[in-house]
Amino acid sequence: MSNSVLKFQHVSFHYEEGKTPILKDFDIQVNEGEFVSIIGPSGSGKSTLFKLVTGLEQPTEGEIFLRNKLESNRLGKVGYMPQQDLLLPWRTIVENAALPLEINGVNKKEAHKRVLGLLEEFGLKGVEDCFPSDLSGGMRQRVSFLRTILSGSEVLLLDEPFSALDAITRISLQEWLLSKWEKRKETILFITHDVNEALFLSDRIFIFTDMPSSKLEEVKVPLERPRELKDLNKPEVIKLKDYLIDQLRARRKS
């Protein structure tokens, strides 16, 4: 039995009949425990791919499988972390993090207990009674990631979650996210425009190149785990970085 947790099989999609499709006879497979980044210019189809995975959109043709099971109703079956944290300003941090548990029927007392047991691990100890406006952008993203974890899914979609942060906070959050993933081993799909970020975090990188897309170009990151930021200075990684940037430039000009 394959260890695939997500598979697109001959998927085509367009928003309007008669318009150029965004995906055409598209195939992709992501395996259990992988960290996969997706890069490509704006408008190349990255966000559409996520909408199809989450079930917010349905393929025009083809099939989408979760854990080798054909799933036409995927809503609520994968975790999703958007660019903006979308924390509810009138709820405390513990109340925000507990939201997916409450939605899934866990009573409030038990949901809060489960959140409180995770706050220290996620660097949020002592802010449980604060409101989102009391926290920095980096701390808010930690809450958002905790909330995504508590959705209960082993497949997590992260859509440029660090793009609005300053450079130092972004690096810190990248290292922090990697440590959480290495401990928990959820499967992560990560959209980013930052090639360094993709190289640092990922096992594999998928590149949106042509439109419509039928198959993403795939590259494997030549780094062992655990890894450090300074590993990005290795010659083979610098060479791969230059290649990825060239691919993105070529797509933008086309």
Q: What is the pLDDT of residues 115-136, one digit of tens each?
A: 999 999 999 999 999 999 999 9
User: What confidence score (pLDDT) does residue 252 get?
Assistant: 61
Task: Break the chain into its structural domains and give their ranges.
Answer: 4-78+155-253, 87-152
User: What was the pLDDT predicted at 86?
Assistant: 92
Token representation of residue 146? 């905790």
State the Cα–Cα distance between residues 73 and 55, nearest whole angstrom: 6
Task: Give me the amino acid identity at 207.
Answer: I
- pLDDT value at residue 42: 76
In angstroms, the CA 42 to CA 40 distance is 7
Parallel, antiparallel, or unpaired for β 187-191 and 35-39? parallel
Per-residue exposure over 48-69, b if at least 16 CB sit within 10 Å of its own CB, e if not:
bbbebbbbebebeebebbbbee
Query: CATH code for 4-78+155-253?
Result: 3.40.50.300
- Report residues of the chain scoring pLDDT below 70: 1-2, 18, 251-254
